[in-house]
Amino acid sequence: TIASRVVQSFGRISRGMSDHGVVILTGERLVEWVLIPKNRGVLPVFLQKQISLGDAVSEQADSIQDLLSAAEQCLTRDDGWIAAYNDYLADAELENADVDTEHLTRLAKSEAKYGHLMWHREYKKAAKVLRATLDDAFALSDSTGAWHCLWLGAAYQMMGDGGSAQEMFLDAHATQRNIPAYPRENAQVSQAAVPAQIIAIDEQLNILADGSIVLPKGLDTDLAYLGGSGSPAQTEKSLRALGQYLGLNATRPDNEHGTGPDALWVADGQPVLCLEVKTGKDASSRYQKKEVGQLSDHVQWVKDHIGDTTIIPVFVGPVMPATDTSNPPSDFLVVGLEQFKQLGDRLKAALTDAVENALPTTLRDTLMTTFSKRDLIWPDCMNSMEKYTLRDLSVVRN
């Protein structure tokens, strides 16, 4: 839908083969969308090349006057500009769209059918339709899955199934923080007295009508691939889920945007964990120069999107040095996946203790005590993990 709007907007200044003009893109979200390779890949070939040229011109410009000068050359049909334009478009590389149209079509039909059934108050059928494609939604992106959880929760709520509705609402908020948390009827201690991490953990636990507290149903399944049995993509999902259950804002930027780290853990005012998953590497190989550059690029992405904060860049994979031609920064770390597995086991044990010993009104206090006792408060929980500086590993190897 966004791609079609972009195409239509560009078409406003070009009604015939002799037309020419300059398009200026403004607005951070629009510019970011256009610059993501997988988004640009669904645009027409000719438009892809024009946007790529515009990006190159913008990168070379040092001031607004430089941009105005470039626009003037285009509008006055400067011979040098026309020659450079034609040469660039002839050589410009295209992005691969790699769009699974069958997958997207299945989701689109599911959403449309859900909306139709909800409109006609056939809530049970609407829930069944959306539940059948919930895994497909999460496979596309975590944000898509989160919104499907929210819609599914609405269907359950209209059916009168409050327990299932609350479960879906909790999953939606835990996966996508911009979706509001499910309101709790029981008053808790003041939020100001409890760290945001503990509040986020509390909001993922289900309090039943009888006052009992239960763990998230997907806890074991979501963390299953920390044991090393999954593909890199499955491992990324479990690492994101681990951050989520720890009460952090955990995302998969590369999955969502086509760029950025494989997993990202963010907590306001605290260090940010930038994870690059390399669990598929052979234990006898090394971290390549290209991989070191890739992690550096992702660190810059975090700076651009999160702001000025402390970033912890980590390769999750075998403990090995970088190649001799690599020059890793001094803060690049290597952490074995088994360390995250141990962290996940401590987390599950702490959550189990908390729900067994807390009342709804004491849950946050109990979580705070339990997580502090088990060293699970972020970022202190990183201290118990065995981690290695990539540069030091390379020096020892050399």
Specify whether 244 is located in the same domain as 337: yes
pLDDT at 189 over 80: no
Mean pLDDT, rounded, of the chain = 89
pLDDT at 98 over 70: no
8 A C-beta contact, residue 110 and residue 132: yes
Instruction: Give 15's contacts (C-beta < 8 A, 6+ positions apart).
Output: none
Specify whether 299 is located in the same domain as 248: yes
Model confidence band, residue 155 (pLDDT cutoffs 50, 70, 90): very high
**pLDDT tens-digit readout, 282-318:** 878 899 999 999 999 999 999 988 887 899 999 999 9
**Taking residues 192-209, what's their average pLDDT?**
86
For residue 176, being part of any structural domain is answered with yes
- Show which of 91, 121, 145 is a domain's final residue: 91
Using CB atoms within 10 A of its CB, is residue 35 exposed (0-12), middle (13-18) or buried (19+)?
middle
**pLDDT tens-digit readout, 237-263:** 999 999 999 999 999 998 888 789 999
- Which residues form the domain of 126? 101-183
For residue 369, being part of any structural domain is answered with no
pLDDT at 339 over 80: yes
Cis before 232 (ω within 30):
no
For residue 198, being part of any structural domain is answered with no
Distance CA 392, CA 398 (A): 10
Specify whether 281 is located in the same domain as 393: yes
More confident residue, 30 or 154: 154
Specify whether 125 is located in the same domain as 160: yes
For residue 361, being part of any structural domain is answered with no
Query: What single-letter amino acid sits at 273?
Result: L
Specify whether 283 is located in the same domain as 387: yes
Instruction: Give 255's contacts (C-beta < 8 A, 6+ positions apart).
Output: 141, 142, 236, 262
Give the chain's domain count.
Answer: 3
Specify whether 257 is located in the same domain as 387: yes
CATH number at residue 316: 3.40.91.50
Model confidence band, residue 187 (pLDDT cutoffs 50, 70, 90): very low
For residue 325, being part of any structural domain is answered with yes
Specify whether 113 is located in the same domain as 61: no
Query: What single-letter amino acid sits at 7?
Result: V
**Taking residues 30-46, what's their average pLDDT?**
83
Query: What single-letter amino acid sits at 301?
Result: W
For residue 210, being part of any structural domain is answered with no
Specify whether 29 is located in the same domain as 63: yes
More confident residue, 280 or 113: 113
Span of 121-130, 188-197, 319-328, 340-349 with lowest mean pLDDT:
188-197
pLDDT of residue 99: 64
Distance CA 59, CA 360 (A): 55
pLDDT of residue 163: 84
3-state secondary structure 7-59: HHHHHCCCCCCCCCCCCCCCCHHHHHHHHCHHHHCCCCHHHHHHHHHHHHHHH
pLDDT of residue 397: 54
8 A C-beta contact, residue 41 and residue 94: yes
Specify whether 288 is located in the same domain as 318: yes
pLDDT at 75 over 70: yes
pLDDT of residue 14: 79
For residue 199, being part of any structural domain is answered with no
CATH number at residue 113: 1.25.40
pLDDT of residue 223: 96
**Taking residues 193-207, what's their average pLDDT?**
89
Specify whether 250 is located in the same domain as 284: yes
pLDDT of residue 97: 58
Specify whether 126 is located in the same domain as 44: no
pLDDT of residue 96: 64
Distance CA 382, CA 360 (A): 29
Specify whether 146 is located in the same domain as 73: no
- Show which of 91, 114, 137 is a domain's final residue: 91
pLDDT of residue 185: 55
For residue 48, being part of any structural domain is answered with yes
- Show which of 91, 123, 142 is a domain's final residue: 91
Number of helices and strands (H, E) in the chain? 19, 8
Model confidence band, residue 367 (pLDDT cutoffs 50, 70, 90): very high
